[in-house]
Amino acid sequence: MRAMQLSRAAPAATRPLHPVDLADPAPGAGEILLRVTACGVCRTDLQICEGDLAAHKLPVVPGHQIVGRVEALGSGVTGWSVGDRAGVAWLAGVDGTCTHCRAKRENLCVAAEFTGWDRDGGYATHAVARADFALRLPEGFADFDAAPLLCAGVIGYRSLKVSGIAPGERLGLYGFGASATLAIQVARHWGCRVFVCTRSPVERERALALGAEWAGGYDDKPPEPLHAAVTFAPVGSVVVAALRALDRGGTVAINAIHIDHVPEIAYADLWWERSLRSVANFTRDDARELLALAAAIPIRPEREIHPLDDAGIALDRLSRGEVRGAAVLQCA
């Protein structure tokens, strides 16, 4: 198989990924082998490649927004057939026995494994996944449109849930990349009023086109206090800006696995029962709910397509803020 592999973390501008030809993997017990057609490029991939997130294994094939066709089944697999279309997302497996798993909070599993971090991911022509963590994808979405739903879509959806936003309430979105462009479509479907803060004038225009009623910069305060906010930018100062924009009793959900720093917060900005919540991974139920909702709305991802061997270019464009919507690799 052909793959783009990371052996050592380095800035995206130096192209830390390199192409390799490897033996086609074989699925083990309980696993499926996918011929990958598309794989989304996520900021988490960038943070792994640049070393902001310490590598769990090296070398590793990044990528955790995988769409493909089942090519082989491992022993004991039921519910999947050769030729089925399947999606593979960030959560690659859990132990199913820890306190968190038993409480239906598998996103917090102490033994969780992650695609493209603990297991080789989808920057490749083939990928192996646990069959019980593969996802059915809704009809009506081409492979390139389905891929961004598997992380950008699902983590944005979970962030909305964590924020506690309710229909008709005022929601702030801070940063407007791939995840936020999908989250706003869910929020507008729920009848929320959406206010967007982003440094990019182009992203502000895009936010307004997608139904935001106001868009400004990070230093601008929305015209009305927010019931909830989700921060997508991996920048601590943005979290503080969102907190200051909240109404009393509001919540900021931080949609990031890594931010540059946690700044000092004035207690006056937190008082009046305002809350800060981190968003850690997502559950399979979150993914299934989002995929069903994506089909019902329907959500329409904006994406740009790159050949597999140009994965490094896609990551560099992402690091520079040049990607419009989501970048997706064509792997077949």
Identify whether 288 is part of a domain. Answer: no
Q: What is the pLDDT of residue 262?
A: 86
Tell me the backbone φ, ψ of residue 93, rounded to 5 degrees.
Answer: 175, 155
Q: Token pair for residue 19?
A: 């192409």
Single-letter amino acid code for the residue at 161: K
* Mean pLDDT of the 178-190 span: 97
Identify whether 262 is part of a domain. Answer: yes
Judgement on whether residues 33 and 91 belong to the same structural domain of the protein: yes
Tell me the backbone φ, ψ of residue 228, rounded to 5 degrees.
Answer: -160, 160
CA distance 150 to 121: 13
Q: Smallest Cα–Cα separation from 228: which of 157, 159, 156?
A: 159
Judgement on whether residues 11 and 87 belong to the same structural domain of the protein: yes
Identify whether 30 is part of a domain. Answer: yes
Judgement on whether residues 178 and 138 belong to the same structural domain of the protein: no
The tens digit of pLDDT for each residue in 84-118 reads 999 999 999 999 999 999 999 999 999 999 999 99
- E strand or H helix that includes residue 228: strand 226-231
* Mean pLDDT of the 244-258 span: 97
Question: If DSSP codes are grouped into helix, strand and coil, which group holds residue 275?
Answer: strand
Identify whether 285 is part of a domain. Answer: no
Identify whether 123 is part of a domain. Answer: yes
Q: Smallest Cα–Cα separation from 64: which of 171, 147, 184?
A: 147
Q: What is the pLDDT of residue 195?
A: 98
In degrees, rounded to 5, the angle at the alpha carbon of residue 295 between the alpha carbons of residues 45 and 105 is 55
What pairs with residue 21 in β-bridges? 2
- Region class of 20: left (phi > 0), else alpha (psi between -120 and 50), else beta: beta
Judgement on whether residues 9 and 70 belong to the same structural domain of the protein: yes
* CATH number of the domain enclosing 255: 3.40.50.720
Single-letter amino acid code for the residue at 228: A
Judgement on whether residues 6 and 142 belong to the same structural domain of the protein: yes
* CATH number of the domain enclosing 324: 3.90.180.10
CB-based contact 88:37 (threshold 8 Å): no
Judgement on whether residues 129 and 204 belong to the same structural domain of the protein: no
The tens digit of pLDDT for each residue in 263-272 reads 899 999 999 9
pLDDT exceeds 90 at position 210: yes
Judgement on whether residues 119 and 240 belong to the same structural domain of the protein: no
CA distance 251 to 234: 17
Identify whether 109 is part of a domain. Answer: yes
- The answer for residues whose C-beta is within 8 angstroms of residue 266's C-beta and 6 or more apart is none
User: Mean of the per-residue pLDDT values for the chain?
Assistant: 97
Identify whether 251 is part of a domain. Answer: yes
Judgement on whether residues 25 and 139 belong to the same structural domain of the protein: yes
Percent with pLDDT over 70 in the chain = 100
CA distances from 45 to 54, 115, 193 (A): 11, 10, 31
Percent with pLDDT over 90 in the chain = 98
Residues 42-47: contacts with CB within 8 Å, 24+ apart? 42/151, 42/152, 42/178, 43/177, 43/234, 43/318, 44/90, 44/116, 44/117, 44/151, 44/257, 44/258, 45/116, 45/121, 45/123, 45/315, 46/12, 46/315, 46/318, 46/319, 47/234, 47/257, 47/258
Judgement on whether residues 320 and 264 belong to the same structural domain of the protein: no
Judgement on whether residues 129 and 163 belong to the same structural domain of the protein: no
Judgement on whether residues 76 and 176 belong to the same structural domain of the protein: no
Which DSSP category does 316 fall into?
H
Judgement on whether residues 127 and 50 belong to the same structural domain of the protein: yes
Number of domains within the chain: 2
% helix / strand / coil in the chain, to the nearest 5? 30, 25, 45
Identify whether 295 is part of a domain. Answer: no
* Mean pLDDT of the 29-54 span: 97
Query: Which range of residues forms the domain containing residue 308?
Result: 2-150+301-330
